[in-house]
Amino acid sequence: MVFPSNEYPSPAGGNYLPSLSTEKYVIAVRKTDSKLLEIIDDEVLADLKDRKSELGKAMEKIELFEKGQNLNTNIFQQTFTPDPKPIPSPTPIPNWWENATVIAAIIAAFATIMTAILNPQLIGNILNWIKGKKSSQQIVTGRVLNNTNGAWIPGAKVSLEANGIPLTEFTDSEGVFEFCFQTSESKIRIRVEANGYNMYDRRIDISSPRAIHDIRLNNTI
């Protein structure tokens, strides 16, 4: 409804106001003090209906926009909601004695140590290192003979003692034996035993390189 105004006097002495449209007007004419006559143009009413329709469409767009905002908010909350699942505890590390690989490695290391302990030459080297003596490699070769006729004695047992370490060999078919070892001594003890012969037990000089010794055994009576 448009009320009369004194700002725009009409030629007939009435009052009028401009409508929402710049081209259409709603004219109100005051006939008496108690009655108000309103004359509304049909085109103005149609224009108002169009504006109402546009306003309704705008409101629908606003509602759709708000719904979209709420939907995006829900999606964001669902996407970034922390997972309520508990954090799994770390896998416990098994004991070393339950690991077959570790046990095998320990056994191999123990076997290596035992082999080293049972190796006389290695022990001799260790003793020389402890004593601070410089050891060198020695090769001792000899032949065991019959002292009566000079025949070779095969299968005779020959034992050496170098740096307190016993070494043993047996003569071949020609009565020959050979030892190769590390020592810092210039003399070693040698012992020869054979069936039907007296035992030979002496210290020999090994200072010359690759010394060859003929050892003669006497027959037992």
User: How confident is the model over 112-153, as pLDDT tens digits?
Assistant: 676 656 666 566 666 655 555 556 777 888 899 999 999 999
**Residue 161 pLDDT:** 78
Read off the tokens for 125: 């080297």
Read off the tokens for 25: 């007007």
Q: Is pLDDT at 63 greater than 70 in this prediction?
A: yes
How many C-beta atoms surround the C-beta of residue 28 within 10 A? Answer: 20
- In the chain, the largest separation of any two C-alpha atoms, in whole Å, equals 178
Of 77-81, 111-115, 199-203, minimum mean pLDDT range: 77-81
Q: Judge whether 120 and 183 are in contact, CB under 8 Å.
A: no
Q: Is pLDDT at 214 greater than 60 in this prediction?
A: yes
Mean pLDDT (the chain) is 68
DSSP assignment, residue 160? E
Q: Strand pairing of 211-217 and 136-146? A: parallel
CA dist 50 to 96, 197, 211, Å? Answer: 87, 142, 131
Domain ranges of the chain: 120-217
**Residue 27 pLDDT:** 44
**Residue 17 pLDDT:** 46
Read off the tokens for 86: 């508990």
Q: Tens digits of per-residue pLDDT, 28-53?
A: 444 434 444 444 455 555 665 666 66
CA dist 92 to 89, 102, 177, 186, Å? Answer: 9, 17, 61, 62
Cross-strand partners of 214:
143
**Residue 176 pLDDT:** 93
The C-alpha atoms of residue 207 and residue 211 are separated, in whole angstroms, by 8
Q: Is pLDDT at 198 greater than 80 in this prediction?
A: yes
Q: How would CATH label the architecture of 120-217?
A: Sandwich (2.60)
By CB neighbour count within 10 A (0-12 exposed, 13-18 middle, 19+ buried), where does 120 fall?
middle
What one-letter code names the amino acid at 159? S
Cross-strand partners of 159:
168, 191
The C-alpha atoms of residue 111 and residue 105 are separated, in whole angstroms, by 10
With residues binned 3-state (H G I as helix, E B as strand, rest as coil), the percentages for the chain, rounded to 5, are 30, 30, 35
Q: Is pLDDT at 211 greater than 60 in this prediction?
A: no
